[in-house]
Amino acid sequence: MIDGEDKNYITQKGVIMNTNTNLKGEEAMELFSIIKQNNLLPKTVDKLMPLSFIGQAAVGFYRSKIKLMDQLNMTEAQRKATLSDGQDAGEMLLDIETRIGELAYKEPRLPPYKGNKQPRKPERLSIPKKRMEQSQAIAKHPEIVEKVKTQAKENEDIPTKTAVLSEINYQNEKKRRVEAEKNKPEIKAVISIEQIQYITALDRCIQVLPQKPPKRWDEAPLKEAKAKAKIIIKRLEVFNNG
Question: What's the distance, CA 110 to chain centroid?
Answer: 29
> Is residue 164, in this structure, part of any structural domain at all?
no
Which residue type does 22 have? Answer: N
The answer to whether residue 177 is domain-embedded is no
Highest mean pLDDT, choosing among 21-30, 35-44, 62-71: 62-71
**Beta strand 16-18 with 8-10: parallel, antiparallel or unpaired?**
antiparallel
In a domain? residue 87? yes
How many structural domains compose the chain?
Answer: 1
For residue range 111-145, what is the model confidence (pLDDT) as tens digits?
A: 665 555 677 888 888 889 999 999 999 999 999 99
DSSP letters, 60-97, are HHHHHHHHTTTTTT--HHHHHHHHHHHHHHHHHHHHHH
Give me the residues paired with residue 18 across strands: 8
pLDDT in tens, 172-199: 999 988 888 777 655 445 667 778 888 8
pTM above 0.85, yes or no: no
Instruction: Find the domain containing 44 and state its range.
Output: 8-158
